[in-house]
Amino acid sequence: MSDDKPKPVDDLKQGLNLLFRAAKGAVDRIPTDKIEGAMRDGAKEVGKAFETVATEIDKVVTNVTTRPGSTPPPHPPAAAAPEAGTEAKKEDQPPPRYDDAYAPEPPAPGKGPRIG
């Protein structure tokens, strides 16, 4: 009478064995040449994208460094202390100009919400 009872552990082993056998057979039949070609094409496209980004960055950096009329900023002497009356006030200097075609001008300082 004990032979009529199902054995769950044996059923689990047999079921998993069948699943793994089916998975192995399916993997062996998958055509890999199409996948390899797609991966190769994708890698080429990523390489082209990196090259395009690097070219654009090079253009921007070259444009900024070789802009006509631009001179490199003077280097102040390291040991010289500023004299009492020659210091430039912050209000006298113009605000920095943003020359970026892709980003908007930064917001003016002090225009945030008031808290409290």
Mean pLDDT of the chain: 75
| CA–CA dist 42, 48 (Å, integer) | 10
Asked whether the predicted pLDDT for residue 110 surpasses 80, the reply is: no
Which tens digit of pLDDT belongs to each residue from 25-78? Answer: 988 888 777 888 889 999 999 999 999 999 988 888 887 777 666 565 566 666
In 3D space, the residue among 97, 92, 50 whose CA is nearest the CA of residue 70 turns out to be: 97
The reported pLDDT for the residue numbered 106 is 61
Q: Does residue 45 contact residue 37 with C-beta atoms inside 8 Å? A: no
To which H or E segment does residue 38 belong?
A: helix 32-65
| CA–CA dist 60, 99 (Å, integer) | 10
The reported pLDDT for the residue numbered 67 is 65
Find where tokens 């490199």 sit. 72
CA end-to-end span of the chain: 83
Local confidence band at 112 (pLDDT 50, 70, 90 cut-offs):
low
